[in-house]
Chain A
Amino acid sequence: MNNKTSPYAIELRDISKSFGAVQANKDICLQVPAGTIHGIIGENGAGKSTLMSIIYGFYEADTGDIEVGGELVNIRTSEDAIRFGIGMVHQHFMLVENFTVLENVILGAEGGAMLQGGLDAARTELKRLEQEYNLDVDVDAVVEELPVGLQQRVEILKALYRGAKILILDEPTGVLTPQEADHLFRILKSLKEQGVTVMIITHKLREIMALTDNVSVMRQGKMVAHRATAQTNKEELAELMVGKKVRLVVDKDEANPTNVALSAKNLSWFDEQGVKRLKDVSFELKAGEIVGIAGVSGNGQSELLNALSGITPLSEGEIHFNNEVITPKNSKNASQMRDLKMAHVPEDRHKMGLVTGFEAYEAAILGYHNSTAYNGKILLDRKAMLAECNERMEKWDVRPADPFLKTANFSGGNQQKIVIAREVEQNPDVLLIGQPTRGVDIGAIENIHEEIIKLRDAGKAILLVSVELDEIMALSDRILVMFDGAVVGEIDAKDADERTLGLMMANALNDDEKVGGQA
């Protein structure tokens, strides 16, 4: 038994973890002082989530030691982690959607073979937690009916109900408005005052500076730096994260928009359950400009892209495009929209943009597979497909430049390049792009941003959807903000800053104060 009282809530020594040939964590050392808020930052793929998953028992480290409160512990499953007082709020919530909040909280801590006792005990305890930390939520509500911000609270309550003294949050603000994020930070600070140690993973430097006491930087699976937050700044952290001087701005000229390429009038869309996901959306997109759609993920942007690209038919409204009027009665599917010269880089390249089991040269014609460029009378023209693929791989610097490699084996950035190349090279009049740099490394991001600007300057109309405000502000000429399925604000990029956009994203401006705007 170790009687040493350690100043650290949790200490990691030489933690390493590999998945097959990929080393996700290498010799990680970390010391988190008890009762502090500790940030872990790094780019996508740096290994942060893997490390937290090891602490939470989701994975087991290959080598290394973990000490909790000075005691060496063996964490093999989440059950172990919970026993040692570690709780986790995941990036993608681990909730049973058709259970109530109460049922979700007691899952795993039912307190006995019969449910009733556990439910009653939880009800009482949740009331207490609610008062202590300002975490109120209707415990009898069904989770899938709650807004995302409240669902996150359920995750936190779950962890606290199990007695977490160390709370880990993985990218918690990805689905929150700036105002909801502030509320979350207040809760975390209040937890810290009660002696809970908080570890927060994020790639958002603003959050680190605003919230944490200490920060550790990860890069490519290794821990590269530790700093006290008060003694560093965003630029230093950015450089440590990426390893070279980063540009936070994209070079571009003034836009020269000309005629209207696409015009959307009163678009509405109801989903399978009859919920209105798009509410009366209207806007114009001109050739030679980039219009960015800002908004917290889940506010109708995906539905808008699906409606415009022909993936889902309209419920109400019209789209005027290329001398055609598309209405619910006269709908066009994705392939017909392509024929009209609209291209679409989807938000999720794994589910939509590529077929991961296909080889690169086959994935490179997805959506255009019926075209005469790739087909003879009956057979596919493999020679033509390969020639084009090789050409494009060289032009867009796709690595490795192997048309026969399965798309699953390319890195995120290269996969994205394959998709973007495919859509852009069709020379469309309108290009829809969703989350162009999600899961893409910094070098490729710059590359992709450059190509988007080039397209704009060539006179194409581009609609950009992204949850990264940085990207929206850097690339767009005009910005539309979506909230709860409707466009709630419009602003010129040069007038936009984060605070204004954040308020618009939360629809916190009433009619008097609305910036730009809709009649």
Chain B
Amino acid sequence: MSQPKVPVWVNLALIPFINITLAFLVSALVILAIGENPIEAAGYLVYGAFGYEEGIGYTLYYATNLIFTGLAVSIAFKAGIFNIGGEGQAYIGGLGVGLVCLAVDQTMPFYIILPLAIIGGAVFGAAWAYIPAYLSARRGSHVVITTIMFNFIASSLMVYLLVNWLKQEGRMSPNSRTFEESAWLPYMHEMLAAIGINFEQSPLNASFLWALICCVLIWGLVWHTRWGYQLRTVGTSATAAVYAGIDNGKVTIWVMLISGALAGFVGLNEIMGVHHSLLLNFTAGFGFAGIAVSLMGRNHPVGIILAAILFGALYQGGSELAFEIPSITPEIVVVIQGLVILFSGALEHMCKDRVEAFFTRPSAA
């Protein structure tokens, strides 16, 4: 028997909105618990994120990373895989970007370095996802645990490389040398100035445009190509995939490679766009935040962009907040992230069933 359809906007907008509201309400309780005023806190948050040009720039700069990691997690989700390794894949992807820049910044012009760096970030990020993917597909190893292990390994690996190999002579801090300007991504405020628009300085750079392009590419791939069809089949029903002649293992692997590559593009933003050198800890939790972003964005590129901007606002607003109210640490943002994952992910059915029942109730005779 057919069931009355739940309007599309309920699933795409209303339920996520309810879930986020719940997450924020609980966060407000936490802020109250540490003796601060949540409304005041919210005020600083919003102001910090959107209240002035520099803040907006920062918000979008953070959002750039979150779009990359959100896309990474969501494409894997769509294929039925939980990729928690975004943190490590972003880190190693950044290594790839940095190595390319260090190798050719003195000999090649920007328009050659850029595509090489994109490839470098993608290849290194994908490579870091490859082993857990292969082990999961061919040996049945639990992909969640292996990717988490690889996050830890990436961390130690980067420390080793930067301290022992890439560090500059005579300096204390474990950074590589600064790249030549030919390996710098132009800042947005620079690009806008070139067409006559005045915008405050901020770390927001051209990688933001690449993030948007990736959204379009991923959208096209997943919903409009046969590979996307295979991916979605594998993610919904492994048995139907086998029936259809789709190799579940192969799909798992190439999806994870794409996922790793997307996470690797965080390196484009941070290494090539902002720091202009290789350094430690530039991933700063964005890999994990990608999980919250993809859940909140319902695994769809449009939702992910919106969720990424929201979380970017949280990061930027959070810094402002920590500055204005010293008793609130920036870690409060981590708490909010966790609550979003909780309400949008683990507890998603809690409201979904009740809301859907409201919309499918048999109409009065």
- Bound pair (A, B): yes
**A409 to B224, alpha carbons, bound, how many Å?**
23
Assess A22 versus B1: contact at CB under 8 Å? Given A334-B243, A351-B240: yes
Which of A5-13, A367-375, A463-471 lies at the interface?
A: A367-375
Of all A-B residue pairs in the complex, the 5 with the closest CB atoms, nearest first, are: A335-B245, A334-B245, A352-B243, A367-B244, A351-B239
**A239 to B237, alpha carbons, bound, how many Å?**
39
Select A369's contact among B4, B220, B244, beta carbons within 8 Å. B244
Interface pair B225/A379, CB less than 8 Å apart: yes
| Nearest chain A CB to B215 CB, angstrom units | 17
Interface pair B243/A369, CB less than 8 Å apart: no
Interface pair A311/B236, CB less than 8 Å apart: no
How many B residues have CB within 8 A of the partner chain?
Answer: 28
**A411 to B2, alpha carbons, bound, how many Å?**
7
- Would you give 8 A-B contacts (Cβ < 8 Å), ordered by A? A22-B3, A335-B246, A336-B245, A352-B239, A355-B240, A356-B236, A409-B5, A411-B2
Total A-B contacts with CB atoms under 8 angstroms apart: 88
Q: Annotate B224-238 by CB proximity to A: 1 below 8 A, 0 otherwise.
A: 111011101100110
Q: Annotate B1-36 by CB proximity to A: 1 below 8 A, 0 otherwise.
A: 111110000000000000000000000000000000
How many A residues have CB within 8 A of the partner chain?
Answer: 40
Is A396 part of the binding interface, using a Cβ–Cβ cutoff of 8 Å? Answer: no
Is A333 part of the binding interface, using a Cβ–Cβ cutoff of 8 Å? Answer: yes
**A333 to B249, alpha carbons, bound, how many Å?**
14
Q: Annotate A372-407 by CB proximity to B: 1 below 8 A, 0 otherwise.
A: 001100111010000000000000000010000100
Residues of B within 8 A of A334 (CB): 242-245
Residues of B within 8 A of A365 (CB): 229
Interface pair B233/A366, CB less than 8 Å apart: yes
Assess A380 versus B229: contact at CB under 8 Å? Given A20-B360, A21-B360, A333-B245: yes
Residues of A within 8 A of B246 (CB): 335
Assess A21 versus B236: contact at CB under 8 Å? Given A333-B245, A334-B242: no
Q: DSSP class of A's interface residues: helix, strand, loop or mixed?
A: loop
| Nearest chain B CB to A332 CB, angstrom units | 9
Assess A351 versus B220: contact at CB under 8 Å? Given A369-B229, A380-B226: no
B245 — nearest CB in chain A belongs to which residue? A335
| Nearest chain A CB to B279 CB, angstrom units | 38
Select A367's contact among B1, B5, B243, B247, beta carbons within 8 Å. B243
Interface pair B220/A400, CB less than 8 Å apart: no
**Most chain B CB neighbours (cut-off 10 Å) among A337, A374, A375, A380:** A380
Assess A409 versus B2: contact at CB under 8 Å? Given A366-B233, A379-B225: yes
**A92 to B237, alpha carbons, bound, how many Å?**
22
B223 — nearest CB in chain A belongs to which residue? A380
| Nearest chain A CB to B8 CB, angstrom units | 11
Select B1's contact among A310, A337, A411, beta carbons within 8 Å. A411
**A336 to B247, alpha carbons, bound, how many Å?**
12
Interface pair B225/A355, CB less than 8 Å apart: no
Q: Which of A341-376 contact B (CB under 8 A)?
A: 344, 346, 348, 351-358, 362, 365-367, 369-370, 374-375
Residues of A within 8 A of B220 (CB): 379
Interface pair B240/A353, CB less than 8 Å apart: yes
B238 — nearest CB in chain A belongs to which residue? A351
Is A410 part of the binding interface, using a Cβ–Cβ cutoff of 8 Å? Answer: yes
Residues of A within 8 A of B357 (CB): 20
| Nearest chain A CB to B358 CB, angstrom units | 12
Is B170 part of the binding interface, using a Cβ–Cβ cutoff of 8 Å? Answer: no
Interface pair A370/B240, CB less than 8 Å apart: no
Is A338 part of the binding interface, using a Cβ–Cβ cutoff of 8 Å? Answer: yes
Interface pair B226/A370, CB less than 8 Å apart: yes
Chain B residues packing against A (C-beta within 8 Å): 1-5, 220, 224-226, 228-230, 232-233, 236-237, 239-240, 242-247, 357, 360-362
Interface pair A358/B362, CB less than 8 Å apart: no
Residues of B within 8 A of A378 (CB): 225
**A492 to B233, alpha carbons, bound, how many Å?**
41
Interface pair B230/A369, CB less than 8 Å apart: yes
Residues of A within 8 A of B5 (CB): 405, 409
**Most chain A CB neighbours (cut-off 10 Å) among B245, B246, B360:** B245
Assess A21 versus B240: contact at CB under 8 Å? Given A310-B245, A380-B226: no
Residues of B within 8 A of A366 (CB): 233, 240, 243-244
Select A358's contact among B224, B226, B236, B243, beta carbons within 8 Å. B236
| Nearest chain A CB to B357 CB, angstrom units | 7
| Nearest chain A CB to B24 CB, angstrom units | 30
A379 — nearest CB in chain B belongs to which residue? B224
**A20 to B245, alpha carbons, bound, how many Å?**
36
Interface pair B243/A21, CB less than 8 Å apart: no
| Nearest chain B CB to A333 CB, angstrom units | 5
Assess A400 versus B240: contact at CB under 8 Å? Given A20-B360, A355-B233: no
Residues of A within 8 A of B237 (CB): 351-352, 355-356
Select A335's contact among B2, B232, B244, B361, beta carbons within 8 Å. B244
**A344 to B240, alpha carbons, bound, how many Å?**
12
B242 — nearest CB in chain A belongs to which residue? A311
Residues of A within 8 A of B228 (CB): 380
Residues of A within 8 A of B4 (CB): 21
| Nearest chain A CB to B242 CB, angstrom units | 6
| Nearest chain A CB to B230 CB, angstrom units | 7
Interface pair A21/B244, CB less than 8 Å apart: no
**A326 to B344, alpha carbons, bound, how many Å?**
49
Select B3's contact among A20, A311, A333, beta carbons within 8 Å. A20
Q: Which of A295-350 contact B (CB under 8 A)?
A: 309-311, 333-338, 344, 346, 348
Q: Annotate A16-41 by CB proximity to B: 1 below 8 A, 0 otherwise.
A: 00001110000000000000000000
| Nearest chain A CB to B174 CB, angstrom units | 43
Given contacts A22-B3, A355-B237, 7 further A-B contacts (CB under 8 A): A20-B357, A346-B243, A352-B242, A356-B236, A362-B229, A369-B230, A400-B2
Residues of A within 8 A of B247 (CB): 333
**A370 to B246, alpha carbons, bound, how many Å?**
10
| Nearest chain B CB to A444 CB, angstrom units | 13
**A358 to B229, alpha carbons, bound, how many Å?**
10
| Nearest chain A CB to B365 CB, angstrom units | 13
**A379 to B223, alpha carbons, bound, how many Å?**
9
Residues of A within 8 A of B225 (CB): 375, 378-380
**A311 to B242, alpha carbons, bound, how many Å?**
6
